[in-house]
Structure 1
Amino acid sequence: GLPVLPPASHKYTRGVVSLCAGESMPGAARLAAAGARAAGAGVVRIAAGVMADALRLGPPGLIVDSAPLPELLKDTRRRVWICGPGLTPEEAGLILPQLLAASRCVLADAGALTWATSMPERLRGAAVITPHEGEFTRLFGPPGADPLGAVRQAARRINAVVVLKGATTIVASPDGRAALNIHATPALGTAGSGDTLTGVIGALLAAGMAPWDAACAGVWLHGEAGLRAGPWPLAEDLDRHLGAAREQAAGLQG
């Protein structure tokens, strides 16, 4: 089930989510960071490099780091990293191998998936990947007539949980477990919604959930937030509903 907050909870027991921002599309990292904060992460930090000063003008509760990545990786509390939103393939190709070499729990998306086009083994070592159909096709080939089987095979191939986003989102684990989620709305098909989802899953990973559980729960929470956000929401609108979505989920599991 979803993590609960005992009386002695504090920001570090709730979990730290870290992200890397790119120079050309830092907004995607901000969306993922906002999703992580709204979904319950105790601390969210963006490794921003030369973009640090600009990103510090954003939300006051978001911590922005300008230090080089190897320096940031010395902090062992920063176990969970999101890699890909807002990154070019070239940027992701520099960052992702460092995160994997440091044995971090990595959620790979967007630019990291493009960097691995036709070479999905580059993603081995990641905990979760969250492709849409186009990204999945570039990595593994078209899902075809048996998308469930294709996602299961992909999860085994890279030994990671794979979340194929769509009208019916498919989540598959390397051990063969699979789940289908239709608890969502077509209104989630808007730019930035996937970045919010990575933040939600990242927050659950940081709270201690296993990759399979975090991916399944994150997809449901994201869908519930979309349903609550009403017609024609922007990606930013989803954040305001993630707390209520967690309460709804807690009531269902209770």
Structure 2
Amino acid sequence: MSEHVEIVDVEGGVRRITLNRPEKKNALTGAMYDAMREALESADASEAVGAVVFAGVPGIFCAGNDIADFVTRAENAFSDAPSLRFIRQLARTKTPMVAAVDGIAVGIGTTLTLHCDLVYASPAARFRMPFVELGLVPEAASSYLLPRRVGRLKATELLLLSEMFGADDAESLGLVNGVIPSDMLLEHATAQAARLAALPRGALTASRALIRGDQALVDAALAAEAEAFDRQLGSEEAQAAFRAFLAKAKPGTKA
């Protein structure tokens, strides 16, 4: 577990996973990925948990990977990285998932939401996927899921040019269900999660599987991305991008 991930089961059969590392803008370390993965695994195994809510602290959802931690772990194969283990669990989790996005959502902070069943954002939400400019490739099956959601041309713009987009744009693209005032966001997301948790479990699970489609296609995208990511991670262009990022970043700044 990680001190920077708070896991609480609240009323209504809802498990809330809260990223709480505000001094680093909720940038994710290996330990944080492991804590989230274990929370999802145990949610699937629990009769008491009917839905999961991902949240951050007020004004900060997730700034992506902690680059310093990521570079240190890059000495090992990406195929065994905590981030990839979490992503694989995220894609196969059977418990409905809801995201409450307030503030920045960078990298995995955005791609995580593609796997959620409901996504709500505050007016302050800002989404961005800067993989290519870091010498990497998209992850979390975003190369497959995003074009299906927004079309190939828009997905190309967001994934290759790393365009930032706000809550209203995300809603118009079909990436969030609604824009909710910041002070009501977590309450609203939790209430919607409780509605899901209260539904007949068998019908909910079967309907969710039908809506999400062929899991094998998502798994294939994950595998292809992981292979390309591993290859790029060791490339000079990625290492140069990391060095440049760390050289100009203030302590605690992340991508």
TM-score range, shorter chain: 0.3 to 0.5
TM-score by length of 1: 0.36
TM-score by length of 2: 0.36
